[in-house]
């Protein structure tokens, strides 16, 4: 069965408009599309962590676009088709970084103007997860989804209001995780008390000394009780 596309947003992760060396247009946009090894905020009953290996082999088999506000109907800002194109994607130890030259179109001009004005407030990305590419655990009372392998990426997009997230697929996984029976704790097996037949000579000697001391203590206590109260306790 084909995987369903999911959408995530990075609030306050605002792309930058960079003026490069003199002679360039100053239309270079750069930002972070995915952050590794960082627990997300609450996504509706669960939190999510993306491992660095989740991107292994993914860029070279994906057709990834940069749209504005995650809206492909507005037109395209840049594109990376199987590793080639106007959208540069680089994965490092922190996450997936993207950059591109804003096109000389109405959409590109809008992006630049609104970055200058501070109206762009984050980024979003969309993806599918490979079969067996995620797992669920519980930590400090929270359900944690760990993504270890994407199937494909579809876009990285600067956003005005990165509020929309599609978590339907993950929520189905969460429900399955909650419904799974909790493994019963392993039974605690009683350790049988050793008797003389289980012991080495050295162990038997130590055991004999211990038992003799125990009986001597019991006898001493009984004698003290007789002196004080006229009766003694039981000696085993």
Q: What is the pLDDT of residues 39-71, one digit of tens each?
A: 988 888 899 999 999 999 999 999 999 999 888
Residues 145, 212 within the same domain: no
Task: Count the domains in the chain.
Answer: 2
Check residue 52 and give its pLDDT.
96
Residues 161, 203 within the same domain: no
Residues 215, 170 within the same domain: no
Residues 20, 52 within the same domain: yes
Measured at the alpha carbon of residue 22, what is the angle toward residues 17 and 25, in degrees to the nearest 5?
45
Segment 18-31 mean pLDDT:
68
Segment 14-35 mean pLDDT:
74
Give the confidence band of 22 by pLDDT, cuts at 50, 70, 90.
Answer: very low
Domain of residue 211: give its range: 196-229
Residues 207, 173 within the same domain: no
Residues 126, 210 within the same domain: no
Residues 142, 203 within the same domain: no
Q: Which residues of 146-176 are buried (b: 16+ CB within 10 A; e: fewer)?
A: bbbbbbbbbbbbbbeebeebebeebeebbee
Specify the pairing of strand 47-50 against strand 142-147. Answer: parallel
Check residue 160 and give its pLDDT.
82
Residues 30, 111 within the same domain: yes
Quote the mean pLDDT of the chain.
Answer: 81
Residues 83, 169 within the same domain: yes
Question: Has residue 190 been placed in a domain?
Answer: no
Question: Has residue 188 been placed in a domain?
Answer: no
Check residue 231 and give its pLDDT.
56
Question: Has residue 219 been placed in a domain?
Answer: yes
Residues 103, 214 within the same domain: no
Check residue 190 and give its pLDDT.
58
What's the pLDDT tens digit per position in 136-162?
Answer: 999 999 999 999 999 999 999 898 866
Residues 200, 111 within the same domain: no
Question: Has residue 235 been placed in a domain?
Answer: no
């Amino acid at each position: 069965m084909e995987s369903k596309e999911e959408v995530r947003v990075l609030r306050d992760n605002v792309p930058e408009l960079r003026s490069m060396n003199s002679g360039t247009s100053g239309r270079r946009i750069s930002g972070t599309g995915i952050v590794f090894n960082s627990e997300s905020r609450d996504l509706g009953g669960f939190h999510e962590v993306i491992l660095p290996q989740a991107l292994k082999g993914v860029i070279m088999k994906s057709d990834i676009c940069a749209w504005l506000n995650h809206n492909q109907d507005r037109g395209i800002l840049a594109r990376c088709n199987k590793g080639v194109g106007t959208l540069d994607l680089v994965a490092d130890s922190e996450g997936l970084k993207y950059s591109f030259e804003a096109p000389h179109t109405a959409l590109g001009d809008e992006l630049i103007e609104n970055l200058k004005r501070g109206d762009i407030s984050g980024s979003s990305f969309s993806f599918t997860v490979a079969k067996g590419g995620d797992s669920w655990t519980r930590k400090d009372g929270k359900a944690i989804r760990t993504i270890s392998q994407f199937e494909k990426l579809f876009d990285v997009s600067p956003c005005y209001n990165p509020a929309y997230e599609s978590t339907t697929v993950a929520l189905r996984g969460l429900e399955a995780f909650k419904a799974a029976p909790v493994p019963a704790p392993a039974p605690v097996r009683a350790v049988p008390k050793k008797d003389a037949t289980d012991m080495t000579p050295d162990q038997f000697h130590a055991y004999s000394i211990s038992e003799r001391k125990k009986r001597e203590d019991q006898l001493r206590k009984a004698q003290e009780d007789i002196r004080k109260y006229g009766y003694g306790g039981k000696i085993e």
